[in-house]
Amino acid sequence: MLPFVPGRGAAPLDIADVQGPFARVVLAIAIPAGAATLLGAYFSQDIGVLVLAVTAWVTVAVSMVTIAARRENAVLVMGTVGAGVSVAAWLTDVAELQSFASLVVVFVGAAAVVFMQGRTFGFLAIHTGFLFAVHVLWLGWGFSAVLQGLLTTVAFLMCSLGMRWVRDRSMDSASRFLNLFERAPVSLWEEDFSAVGTWLEGLRDQGVTDLAGHLREHPDLFRHGLGLVEVVRVNQAAARFLEVDDPELLVGPLKPETFPDDAMPSMIAQFEAIWNGEDHVTVEVRHGYTVQGNPLWGLLHWAVPRRFGKPDLTRVIVSVVDVTEMNMARETLEQSLKSKDELIATVSHELRTPLTTVVGLSTELSDAYDDFGKDEAQDLLRMIADQSVEVATIVEDLLVAARAESGSLKVSVEPVDLHLEAKTTLRGLDIEEEVDCHTVGVVPTVYADSGRVRQILRNLLVNARRYGATPIRIVVLEAGDAVNVEVRDHGAEISPEEQQMIFDRYYRARQTPGVTASVGLGLTVSRELARLMGGDLTYHHDGESVFTLSLPRPKATESAASA
């Protein structure tokens, strides 16, 4: 299911819910009955018929008052009818009317027993006495009156107890259903598709044969059908599934304007089940959203009961199994597998390139060392050393990433001169002449892991040479409670969407033509190391691309202790 908030609710089934509709039905019957009996009394001049007419209009008045006051009481309405009919039968010496009145009083009493919430046995006793008394009143004291009164009271008791038993069984069944419905751990909706069934029959009469195709071609028509679905009841699990505090907010017609287009196939599948006369269908709800806007996936099962061999579309049960976490985990796993595959391919390529150089040059030196002059041999050895450093850097990043994942990555703390570490890193990469390194003001010594600081700076410089643009420079400066080392280059700005993603594992923001792709771990590892040392690694662009390694300044107590 998907989010919709019509703004009205439905209370649990209760016998009191039936009293209002009953009063309205009696009102609809009493108005024409009152008019007809009033005309009959006028032409017949019979006082009994007049009493029946008055009773009908009194019933109309009582029904209207109880409905207007929202205190509908079926027992009060039925009592009015029973008393009026009894008086009319007494005033009219017509046997047929007395027999009719006897049946009415029996029915009214039995129906009242169904509607009563308590004191049933007291009411049975009073109404039994009333039945016996009215027969004596109608027929006079005698054997016939006593016998008819006894037979009528027996019929009333049997009818009342039978109807009460049927009511209790029905209420028990409804209560069990509601209890299971409300407490089910699976999201459940009770929905009314009867208007949808009528609408679909109209489409069939118009000559539509391919329902799914027709609705996809006419989205406005689909949304019209969607608005015909009425949600009758929702359980707590469904409210939690859609992140709604009150389940009653989900009751009412579906709102087409809040229904995502991505969920259209799941609803069309339900329409097709009705179209094809099926009583159940299972479909996956994909790319849905909760009321709070969070993504959700569900496995929806739509089932309709049958009455007299035909689907009862007024009581459709829809259950949705929440598979959001499972699908998100699957997507994450698929993405992880894809990233790992890319990582293996990239690492293989990254290692193969320098190792090929190292193996080729070292083999050449070993096999024909005497053929090379001293300067040539030194150049070859320098190339071997450079490529070996490249391999060592990749392997070190992989080791750091593995230790970080296992929680075993640690750093040591010692006094570190960041300017000196920057110069040492440049010298190790043999780019000291290419990169300007300077300090702004007097920068204090920080407490960090010197080896990890050089690893971070080495990754940032390699990143600048690989993806940035010259000139590259390093700036060391104070910044409040921190000391910053900025690695700046003139490369293009990274898009705002990617500025945080570049620190994700195996992510590569851009690829320079002709340059081997990076492993995608350098920035991730560098940020993790910086944070382990109490600092951070960030990116911004101020005309230059700037990666900033920030480490905390030493506290006064630490400075005094070191002195």
- Over the stretch 319-378, which tens digit does the pLDDT of each residue have? 888 776 777 777 777 776 776 666 666 666 566 767 777 788 788 777 777 777 777 777
Mean pLDDT over 517-524 rounds to 66
Looking at residue 80, its pLDDT comes to 64
What is the pLDDT confidence band of residue 24, given thresholds at 50, 70 and 90? low
Evaluate if residue 51 carries a pLDDT over 60: no
From the number of C-beta atoms within 10 Å of its C-beta (0-12, 13-18, 19+), residue 312 rates as middle
Mean pLDDT over 260-269 rounds to 82
The CATH fold of domain 332-406: Helix Hairpins (1.10.287)
Mean pLDDT over 280-302 rounds to 80
Evaluate if residue 211 carries a pLDDT over 90: yes
Mean pLDDT over 68-79 rounds to 56
Helix residue spans in 184-248 (DSSP H): 194-205, 211-217, 219-226, 236-241
Evaluate if residue 408 carries a pLDDT over 80: no
What is the pLDDT confidence band of residue 547, given thresholds at 50, 70 and 90? very high
Looking at residue 3, its pLDDT comes to 39
Q: Which of 94-98, 142-146, 541-545, 550-554 has the lowest mean pLDDT?
A: 94-98
**Contacts of residue 531, Cβ cutoff 8 Å, sequence gap at least 6:** 537
What is the pLDDT confidence band of residue 13, given thresholds at 50, 70 and 90? very low
Q: Is the pTM of this model over 0.85?
A: no
What is the pLDDT confidence band of residue 210, given thresholds at 50, 70 and 90? very high
Kindly state the tokens that stand for 2.
Answer: 């998907």
Q: Give the single-character DSSP code of 137.
A: H
In this predicted model, what pLDDT tens digit does every residue of 133-152 receive, in sequence order?
766 666 667 676 677 667 77
Is 7 strand, coil or helix?
coil
What CATH number belongs to 184-322?
Answer: 3.30.450.20
Report the residue count for the chain: 563
Mean pLDDT over 229-236 rounds to 88
Looking at residue 11, its pLDDT comes to 40
Instruction: Look up tokens 């269908």; give the residue.
Output: 281
| Most confidently modeled range among 60-64, 89-93, 468-472 | 468-472
Looking at residue 438, its pLDDT comes to 87
Where is pLDDT greater, at 299 or 10? 299
Evaluate if residue 94 carries a pLDDT over 50: yes
Q: Which of 253, 250, 228, 225 is nearest to 240 (CA)?
A: 250
- What are the sequence ranges of the domains in the chain? 16-181, 184-322, 332-406, 414-562
Task: Report the sign of the C-alpha dihedral through residues 535, 536, 537, 543, in that order.
Answer: negative
Where is pLDDT greater, at 447 or 21? 447
SS (H, E, C) 251-304: EEECCHHHCCHHHHHHHHHHHHHHHCCCCEEEEEEEEEECCCCCEEEEEEEEEC
Looking at residue 53, its pLDDT comes to 60
The CATH fold of domain 414-562: Heat Shock Protein 90 (3.30.565)
Say how far apart CA 353 and CA 345 lie, in whole Å.
12
Say how far apart CA 20 and CA 517 lie, in whole Å.
75
Looking at residue 515, its pLDDT comes to 44
Element (H, E) at 14: none
Looking at residue 204, its pLDDT comes to 92
R_g (Cα) of the chain, nearest Å: 43
Looking at residue 424, its pLDDT comes to 86
φ, ψ at 418 (rounded to 5°): -65, -35
